[in-house]
Amino acid sequence: MRRSGLSKTRERIYTFIRKFYREHDYAPTVRDILRGCRLSSTAVVQYHLNVLEKEGRIHRDPEVFRSIRLADKPGISSVPLLGTVAAGEPIPVPTAETWTSQALEIMEVPEEITEGKQLYALKVKGFSMIDALIDDGDTVLMEPANTAEDGDMVAVWLKNEQEVTLKRFYREGETVCLRPANKLMEPIYQYPENVEIQGKVSAVLRKL
Amino acid sequence: MRRSGLSKTRERIYTFIRKFYREHDYAPTVRDILRGCRLSSTAVVQYHLNVLEKEGRIHRDPEVFRSIRLADKPGISSVPLLGTVAAGEPIPVPTAETWTSQALEIMEVPEEITEGKQLYALKVKGFSMIDALIDDGDTVLMEPANTAEDGDMVAVWLKNEQEVTLKRFYREGETVCLRPANKLMEPIYQYPENVEIQGKVSAVLRKL
DNA sequence: ATTCCAGTGGTACACTTGTGCTAATATAAT
DNA sequence: ATTATATTAGCACAAGTGTACCACTGGAAT
């Protein structure tokens, strides 16, 4: 008998449960495991399930069919809400530590929006970004960035003006053109030395 | 029978399943639902589960105990994208059949946004709603409604003008005041006979 | 040897569960 | 009123299911 090391059948059972969960999104029964692991007695399965539970690797409710749960979690992208952004304030740029340590809240967003990228969220205060069609109370999802491509919606820090605005970014010869998303309003032109890109706006979320 | 609006028992069953999942991490049986919703026949539960499955809100494997799975992953709701909305077009109002049958796409959004409510999504085409801070290409999440409270952002159909706009709704004596979200722009006043509420705007989603 | 124990096999019981069937009721449309 | 459709009700059956029980194997410690 192997005192050190893991029981082979028990590991096969455990991995089978994982596999079964991936394929069905619900737990297998004792007899599902029996067939899946080519065992010949429900008692064997029962025995190993009891051990696995005692080891804390699974949970079960007595007498409830398909009640096996793994000490495991589904992966949804959670995004830290790092603070608020208002007119005249620089946007806080997150570091590895601030990422979750000083998060006010963890927001859960679909992967569709993040596309796997590491984003952070900011709550917009005031109407200073209304020309970017961003309202008071909206949430913006930011992607950390120092540079931008033409057409990107970026958060820029204007050194002389000492303020942050959200604009679409275009290079035009020697200057930089910053266009509001709202086409009714006029673009502004700046020298590259005066603009500092703080991040790309990846999405806007408005809850009414 | 109510053709518009959702079956009450069916919604109770659906929310019970969600609640049960939150509490147990596995699906309820038909009889769990029966007891939890204080119904008196498994056939009633079976009937509504069949409808829910036809509507695409749940999935089941035949003859498998506790095989109910929600179309919504935990923390994420799926919302049918029913079409586009542009100036001069009425907003399509969904019925039970159109819910998933004619959905162009199923969008996944955080449950934080839907708050459990049954919403549908529309893609905005053109700039007709820019005074509501809604851009071309934005997605609006609509909640079906015929009435509105003061301050609600609603989609209204103006009969005389034959067009839909998104505005904030206020009653002012005999008339109805419709305010653009953009405070730079002027509100319009209408007689109640001319406005027909098509739904509440529950959220705005902009992907850049 | 003997004892101990993790692990395996086989089986049976009592209960649970999805489903099918029939009937009844309620509301809407004609 | 009549028809159609949605919903509720009661019940029975076959199969699925967790669990208890007993017997057995093989290696390790004594």
Write out pLDDT tens, residues A50-81: 888 887 778 899 889 999 988 644 434 567 77
Q: Do A203 and B208 touch (CB under 8 A)?
A: yes
Q: How far is A117 from chain B (nearest CA, A)?
A: 14
Residue at B191: amino acid letter:
Y
Assess whether pLDDT exceeds 60 at residue B57.
yes
Tell me the nt nearest to B40, Cα to C1': D9
| pLDDT > 70? residue B147 | yes
**Do B106 and B119 contact (CB within 8 A), yes or no?**
no
Query: At the fourth CATH level, which superfamily is domain A76-205?
Result: Umud Fragment, subunit A (2.10.109.10)
Closest Cβ–Cβ partner in B152, B201, B207 for A203: B207
| The token pair that represents A55 in the structure block | 């080891």
In a 3-state reduction of DSSP, which class is residue B77? Answer: strand
Q: Picking from A109-118, A197-206, B159-168, which range would have the lowest pLDDT averaged per residue?
A: A109-118
Share of chain B above pLDDT 70, in %: 83
Q: Which residue of chain A has the CA closest to B68?
A: A26
CATH number of A8-70: 1.10.10.10
Residue A118's pLDDT is 65
pLDDT at position A5 over 50 = no
B4 CA to C19 C1' in angstroms comes to 30
Cβ atoms B118, B144 nearer than 8 A: yes
* Rounded distance between C-alpha atoms, residue A60 and residue A73, angstroms: 16
Which residue of A113, A143, A205, A208 to mutate against B (max B Cβ within 10 Å)?
A: A208
pLDDT value of residue B64: 92
Q: Of A24-33, A105-114, A144-153, B48-57, where does the model show the most confidence? A: A24-33
Per-residue pLDDT at B89: 61
Contacts of A127 in chain B (CB under 8 A): 183
Using the predicted structure, report yes or no on whether residue B205 has a pLDDT greater than 50. yes
Is B88 strand, coil or helix? coil
* A44 confidence band (pLDDT: 50, 70, 90): very high
* φ, ψ dihedrals at B48, nearest 5°: -70, -30
Q: Which of B178, B184, B38 is nearest to A182 (CA)?
A: B184
Exposed / middle / buried, residue B199 (Cβ in 10 Å: 0-12, 13-18, 19+) = buried
Residue ranges matching CATH 1.10.10.10 in chain A? 8-70
CB < 7 Å to strand D — which of 34-53 in chain A?
Answer: 42-43, 45-46, 49
Q: What is the pLDDT of residue A71?
A: 63
pLDDT of A4 > 60? The answer is no
Among A24-28, A56-60, A188-192, the minimum mean pLDDT is found in A56-60
If you average pLDDT over residues B41-46, what whole number do you get? 91
Q: Could you give the residue range(s) of every CATH 2.10.109.10 domain in chain B?
A: 76-205
Residue A154 φ then ψ, to 5°: -125, 155
Q: How is residue B26 written in tokens? A: 């596995």
Chain mean pLDDT for chain B: 79
pLDDT of B143: 85
Distance A108 CA to C27 C1' (A): 43
pLDDT score of A115 more than 80: no
* H helix count then E strand count, chain B: 5, 11
With a cut of 70, say whether residue B98 has pLDDT above it.
no
Q: What is the pTM of this model?
A: 0.53
Whole-number pLDDT of residue A31: 92
